[in-house]
Amino acid sequence: MDYHQGDTIVAIATPPGEGGIGILRLSGPQALSIATALCGGSKVKPLMPRHAHFRRFHARDSSSVIDHGIALYFPAPHSYTGETVVELQGHGSPLALASLLTEAIALGARAARAGEFSERAFLNGRLDLAQAEAVADLIHARSDAQARAAAASLEGAFSQAVDGIHGQLLQLLALAEAGLDFSEEDLGDAHEQAIADGLVRLEGQIARLLKQAQQGARLARGGRVVLAGRPNVGKSSLMNALARRESAIVTAIPGTTRDLLREEIVLDGLPVELIDTAGLRVATDAVEAEGIARARNILHSAQLILLVADASTGWQAEDEAILRDLPAGPRRIIWNKLDLVSAPPDTPAGEAAIALSAQTGAGLDALHRSLIEALGVQGDSCPFSARRRHVEALESCLHQLVAARDMHRLGDAPELVAQSLREAAVALASITGRIDVEDILGEIFSRFCIGK
């Protein structure tokens, strides 16, 4: 990403729309002078660091007052970005905030890009890369467990674990390279055993951290469960039972659900998006056909598919046809309408099934447990949030450590062992940004909101 040290950036830091408070945030060398001009210039007392000042916010010519509120000044380097930062906290009027933004730009500021404040915090050493990403995770958290995990990462739980292992890895690399520096000397069996022991120890530590990161990444991403099946098997009733509200229309008329219906629930801290789909059959009109096409497409993005079948009619040829067409991946057959039969029908061989009644609620607890197991995460067990790139970096690090261990055990050239250790260290350091990571900064910070 382009980064100009001399730029002063400005953004509205509160969400769009009306509200009690609206915040304009400035960061950069001109932040104080621009804010001072907006607050009345030399006519008012200067802003004191970290003090709340009541001010009227003026247009450039000071002839009109745009708003009034609180001005806060944070001198560099003791601010979020590590630069001079000023926040003008007025009323949450979109028009007033837009006017202040226009005035600030006219006075020399530049409109901030998405994530640029956090990018500057990273580049100025206020946050490492994992912590910066945790800021976005905390903002977008949809459950208490997600918020706790993101806050733990922001406080440095993940980074400290990575840095601790990285330090040990560098020590092991130095030990391995000692054999290269003193190749003409025999450093003895103790030296080689120390390398072997270090490789085993680090492999175990990375494997444990990888497992935690996989949990954290699943928690941060959330889950997606899609309900599929032929018409009138009770998909919408099951959707309502899981959501605990009447979100989907339920009738006895086949084809009532014409489009994708979405609802979010929280299972053990994991936000799960439930998607109810149109009944899969030969459509009777163009609108239903479009709903069925959308249903087939969304199935490919599901982490779990619930194929709902009618226990009162048993397994039908239409059910079998739908089962054959489902994409590969985790799925469960749901025998609905258990209240209408004495026992659930036989389930096709090799398929996992749960019998329940969306009408009475019988069997829903078993479905909840099955969903948690299938989605593979329990929010309360995640010590920090993580992302897919973190998981990939740890997988790469583990792969290089295993390769180094095997090469060392087989007596391969020390140069090869050292090179694998270097690549493992680089992969691990990419998580926190201890290396040159310009190629991934744009991707990371572009996903932030403006003003953060």
List strand residue ranges (DSSP E) for 319-445, in order. Answer: 331-336, 353-355
Q: What is the mean pLDDT of the chain?
A: 86
pLDDT of residue 412: 86
Question: Residue 186 in 3-state DSSP?
Answer: coil
pLDDT of 445 over the 80 cut: no
List the CATH code of the domain at 224-376: 3.40.50.300
pLDDT of 282 over the 50 cut: no
Q: How far apart are CA 76 and CA 431, in angstroms?
A: 26
Q: How far apart are CA 101 and CA 375, in angstroms?
A: 44
Q: How far apart are CA 229 and CA 225, in angstroms?
A: 13
The full DSSP string for 232-254 is: TSSHHHHHHHHHTS--S---SST
Task: Name 396's Cβ contacts closer than 8 Å, sequence gap at least 6.
Answer: 423, 424, 427
Cβ neighbours around 59 below 10 Å, total? 16
Asked if 336 and 238 count as a contact pair (C-beta separation under 8 A), the reply is yes
Q: How far apart are CA 52 and CA 32, in angstroms?
A: 14
pTM: 0.78
pLDDT of 288 over the 80 cut: no
Task: Name 384's Cβ contacts closer than 8 Å, sequence gap at least 6.
Answer: 134, 149, 152, 153, 157, 158, 161, 212, 216
Task: Name 140's Cβ contacts closer than 8 Å, sequence gap at least 6.
Answer: none
Q: Decide if 139-219+385-433 and 224-376 have a common fold.
A: no
pLDDT of residue 432: 93
Asked if 227 and 239 count as a contact pair (C-beta separation under 8 A), the reply is yes
Query: Residue 423, class by beta-carbon neighbours within 10 Å (0-12 exposed, 13-18 middle, 19+ buried)?
Result: middle
**Which pLDDT tens digit goes with each residue over 39-96?**
988 888 999 999 999 999 999 876 789 999 999 999 999 999 999 999 999 999 999 9
Q: How far apart are CA 293 and CA 50, in angstroms?
A: 57
List the CATH code of the domain at 139-219+385-433: 1.20.120.430
- Nearest alpha-carbon partner for 74 in 87, 90, 63: 87
**Which pLDDT tens digit goes with each residue over 178-235?**
766 555 555 567 888 999 999 999 999 999 999 999 999 988 888 889 998 888 898 8
9-128: CATH topology: Gyrase A; domain 2 (3.30.1360)
pLDDT of residue 269: 83
Tokens read off for 163? 């840095």
Tokens read off for 451? 């003003």
CA–CA distances in Å: residue 32 to residues 27, 122, 143, 175, 236: 9, 21, 37, 51, 57
Q: How far apart are CA 440 and CA 415, in angstroms?
A: 29
pLDDT of residue 313: 93
**Which pLDDT tens digit goes with each residue over 143-173?**
898 999 999 999 999 999 999 999 999 889 8
Sketch the domain layout of the chain as residue ranges: 9-128, 139-219+385-433, 224-376
**Residue found under tokens 């260290």:** 425
